Every structure is written in structure tokens, then in C-alpha cells.
């Protein structure tokens, strides 16, 4: 009998040292500064190289695929277990109490961008593989520990990997929740475009509206610039509006223009109710003014069709499936300038029974204005499900139950993980039930004890799957 918790615990100091090194690398996808050597930016490539260098030092065979993905290999056999993780993270954003790229342990919690999503779980799974290797346990299958570099955006790295490298037969991604995620909703972003043409003249004019960092993050801040006459009470009204709705307001006057900024609460787009969308609140406030026609149209559409509507009812796209639950809609990126094409990006997590094409068509119909249309934007992921009676699911749940003493059950989420790449692919940990979900939020953290416990669970799970 192997005491997996004990094996994980005695490696905890080394694990945290290696994890700190990974967390210090800002590995946000950065194609604006890419190059032939670094197609997705230098940060993701450096994080990839860092993990591969650890594996090489530990005696594993590795492969770097064009600095956009990589692989750590172990074992031998006819079947391949895939462990799929990612080294990139979402932008740090505002609101941090610590340096997001200088990890700190405070009250048992490891604070850093990527600590929970996905660098902490990645390192836990890697050390699990190290434990199996160190114990020299007999195995009958191969393990390909696959590392992607832009999971938080377009999945170009993992897509390239699958084009040139073999696809595992089955596997899991340590990038979600315990006890297991064996189903994931479809994911698509939709671009709502406003064609220029309406007048930008009026007593009060919207000169700019900007919000959002990524289309999978609820925007924490939003900024608008307005100008015009009879705006003496604008600042006071704005601050009062923010206070009444639980946001923070800042109003400045620059060159006879009012710069209005709202701060809400960022969160992962998979559940819009977890955040406070600064952009839709700002548009709602502005919709109460008498703006120029173009500006009024922009903020009115946001207020009328997107504000406080996480299930897409105002867009006519609401959908509930008995297995996968409700569709969610999160408006996450906003750009407006007079006389230019303006746009909004809405991130939708949808169950079985509706398609991305149907969603975009219905959005356009619901808004019902000839100068506004909606279309898919970027990668579309269809719903994914591995039955609860699949041996992969059963094995992982059995391990979770043995090590935690808690009952495991299947779960379906709105998040998207690399697990859906495989027909028999799931997500497995590393967030434990009852823990606060701080992924994509300021002050992201992961409890240190959870990292070590996850390491033990992953070690036993990997061994049970390949022995």
C-alpha cells in the first residue's frame, strides 16, 4: 500500500519552489509582440521552456513543439493517457493587493496570477507523475503530459500540437474542479457590430466607451468620455448611481470632457453572476442621459439587451437542457468611438440543443436594428460529455472518494478545458468543493494544502489508469 499523501507531503517544499518559478513568469498570450521564434509571445514560450526544463532535469523525455506546446513522456505501452494542462494565464488586471507575478503565501493561501488556473494544478499533476517515476512502479501504458500555451484565448498552441503529434487515447485536464467534470457546455463568443451612420451630434455626446480585457473575463472596470452642455450635476449623479449599485465611481473633467470610470468585480465568464459587470452598469447610467443618436444607440442596446441578463433572455437565446443546464451569456469587451465601427463581444456557454449559428441569428433578430448584426468571433467549441459509467470517470471518482472520504458525482460546467479535446477526456480538479472560485479574478489564490492534496490524488489516479 502506498501512502500517496505522505509521498506528496515530503515533496511539498520542492514543489512550491518549482511552482514559484513558474508563477514569476508573466505568460499571457502576446501576439502583438510575437516573432518567428515566439508565435504566441515570449512569455508563454518561456513558461513552456521552464516546465520542460524541470522535466528534463528530472529524467523525463520531453518535446517542444514550435514554442507553442510541449510534451513530457513517461512509461510504455499501446495506449496513451493524456494529461493536458496550460502554462498561460489571463491578464493580471487591476485590484491586486500583492504583486501578481511575485507569489506570496498568506494565511496558507498562495497568491499569484495563475496559481489556481492553471499553474498550481499543473505542478501538482507534474509532481504526481514524478512520484510514480520515483517509486519505480510498474506501468502498462504511456503518459503524455501535454502543455498548451494559449488555453485562455484561441487554443492555437494545442491545435498545432494535435496537427503534428499523436492524440492520446483518453485523459484528463487538471484545470477545473473535483470530484470531476465529465461534461462541458459549448463555448462561443459573438461579435455585435454597430455600423457607423447615425448622427454623432447632440447636446450631450458620447466620445468614447471602453471596457474589457478578454472575452472570457467579466470586465471589472469601464470608462466613458462624454461632453456637452448642462452637465453640472453629472459627477454627483454618477457617484450616487455607483453607490446605489455597489460599484466604485471616479469622475474627472479633462479638456471640457467628463471621464467617467466604474469599478465592479471581475470574474470568470462561465458564471456572470459571480461578478459585477462594470460596462453594463456604465451603459445603463449613460442610457439615462440624452446622448447623440449613435452614442445613445450603443448604450441603449447594452442596457436593453445585456445588463443583468446572465441567461440571455433579452437576446432571445435562453436555453436549458436537462443534462447540461442553462445557457449563460457574458458581455465582456466593449469599444465605441464616434464615426467608427463599434462592437461588443459576448461570451456564451451553451448546452446541447442549440448551435452557435442559431445563437448569432437570434441575437441579430432580438436587437432588430438594420445597422447592428451579430456573428461568431473566434473558436467555437461544441458541447462535450463523457458518460458517468465510462471506466475513466469511474476510476477518477473512486480515487477521489478514497482519498477524501467524500462522495463523488458527475458534474457539467460552463468552463472549457483541454479535456474536451479527447473523445474520452474529462477535467479532474484541482479546486475542491466548497472552495471560493477566484479564477480570472484579482487576488487569485490557491490554498497550499489543496495543491499538496491534489498532488496525492493525481498520483494515485494516474497510476490506477496506467498500471
Distance CA 389, CA 409 (A): 11
- Within 3-148, residue ranges assigned H as helices are 4-9, 12-23, 42-57, 120-134
Cell triple for residue 245?
Answer: 449599485
Decide if 300 contacts 194 (C-beta within 8 A). Answer: no
Measuring CA to CA, how many Å separate 176 from each of 207, 270, 342?
Answer: 41, 12, 34
Distance CA 296, CA 310 (A): 23
> Which are the catalytic amino acids?
88, 151
Which residues lie below 8 Å from residue 373, measured CB to CB, with a gap of 6+? Answer: 192, 193, 364
Pairing of β 412-413 and β 183-184: parallel
Four-CA torsion 449, 455, 458, 460, nearest 10 degrees: -100
Distance CA 260, CA 222 (A): 8
Query: Cell 477526456, residue?
Result: 425
Distance CA 251, CA 266 (A): 21
DSSP E strand stretches across 20-123: 61-65, 69-75, 80-86, 104-106, 109-111
Q: Which helix (H) or strand (E) holds 218?
A: strand 217-218
Cell triple for residue 189?
Answer: 463568443
Amino acid at each position: 500500500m502506498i501512502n500517496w499523501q505522505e509521498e506528496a507531503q515530503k515533496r511539498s517544499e520542492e514543489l512550491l519552489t518549482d511552482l514559484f518559478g513558474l508563477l514569476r513568469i508573466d505568460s499571457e498570450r502576446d501576439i502583438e509582440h510575437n516573432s518567428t521564434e515566439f508565435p504566441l509571445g515570449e512569455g508563454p514560450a518561456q513558461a513552456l521552456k521552464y516546465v520542460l526544463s524541470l522535466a528534463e532535469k528530472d529524467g523525463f523525455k520531453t518535446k517542444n513543439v514550435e514554442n507553442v506546446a510541449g510534451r513530457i513522456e513517461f512509461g510504455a505501452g499501446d495506449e496513451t493517457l493524456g494529461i493536458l494542462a496550460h502554462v498561460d494565464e489571463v491578464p493580471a488586471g487591476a485590484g491586486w493587493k500583492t504583486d501578481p507575478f511575485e507569489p506570496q503565501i498568506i494565511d496558507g493561501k498562495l497568491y499569484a496570477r495563475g496559481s489556481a488556473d492553471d499553474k498550481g494544478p499543473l505542478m501538482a499533476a507534474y509532481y504526481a507523475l514524478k512520484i510514480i517515476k520515483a517509486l519505480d512502479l510498474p506501468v502498462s501504458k504511456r503518459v503524455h503530459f501535454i502543455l498548451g500555451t494559449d488555453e485562455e484565448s484561441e487554443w492555437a498552441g494545442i491545435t498545432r500540437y494535435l496537427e503534428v503529434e499523436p492524440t492520446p487515447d483518453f485523459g484528463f485536464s487538471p484545470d477545473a474542479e473535483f470530484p470531476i467534470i465529465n461534461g462541458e457546455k459549448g463555448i462561443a463568443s459573438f461579435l455585435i457590430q454597430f455600423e457607423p451612420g447615425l448622427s454623432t451630434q447632440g447636446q450631450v455626446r458620447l466620445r468614447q466607451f471602453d471596457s474589457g480585457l478578454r472575452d472570457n473575463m467579466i470586465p471589472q472596470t469601464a470608462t466613458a468620455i462624454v461632453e456637452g452642455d448642462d452637465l453640472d450635476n453629472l459627477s454627483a449623479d454618477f457617484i450616487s448611481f455607483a453607490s446605489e449599485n455597489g460599484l466604485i465611481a471616479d469622475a474627472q473633467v479633462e479638456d471640457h470632457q467628463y471621464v467617467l470610470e466604474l469599478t465592479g468585480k471581475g470574474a470568470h465568464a462561465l458564471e456572470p453572476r459571480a461578478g459585477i459587470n462594470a460596462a453594463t452598469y456604465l451603459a445603463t447610467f449613460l442610457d439615462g442621459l440624452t446622448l447623440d443618436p449613435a452614442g445613445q444607440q450603443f448604450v441603449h442596446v447594452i442596457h436593453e439587451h445585456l445588463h443583468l441578463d446572465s441567461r440571455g433572455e433579452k437576446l432571445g437565446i435562453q436555453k436549458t437542457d436537462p443534462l447540461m443546464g442553462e445557457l449563460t451569456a457574458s458581455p465582456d469587451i466593449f469599444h465605441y468611438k464616434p464615426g467608427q465601427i463599434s462592437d461588443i463581444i459576448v461570451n456564451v456557454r451553451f448546452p446541447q440543443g442549440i448551435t452557435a449559428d442559431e445563437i448569432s441569428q437570434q441575437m441579430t433578430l432580438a436587437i432588430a436594428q438594420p445597422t447592428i448584426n451579430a456573428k461568431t468571433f473566434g473558436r467555437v467549441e461544441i458541447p462535450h460529455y463523457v458518460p458517468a459509467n465510462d471506466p475513466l470517470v469511474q476510476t477518477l471518482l473512486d480515487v477521489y472518494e478514497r482519498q477524501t472520504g467524500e462522495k463523488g458525482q458527475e458534474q457539467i460546467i460552463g468552463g472549457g478545458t483541454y479535456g474536451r479535446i479527447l473523445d474520452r477526456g474529462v477535467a479532474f480538479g484541482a479546486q475542491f468543493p466548497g472552495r471560493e472560485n477566484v479564477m480570472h479574478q484579482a487576488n487569485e489564490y490557491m490554498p497550499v494544502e489543496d495543491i499538496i492534496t491534489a498532488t496525492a490524488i493525481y498520483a494515485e489516479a494516474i497510476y490506477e489508469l496506467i498500471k
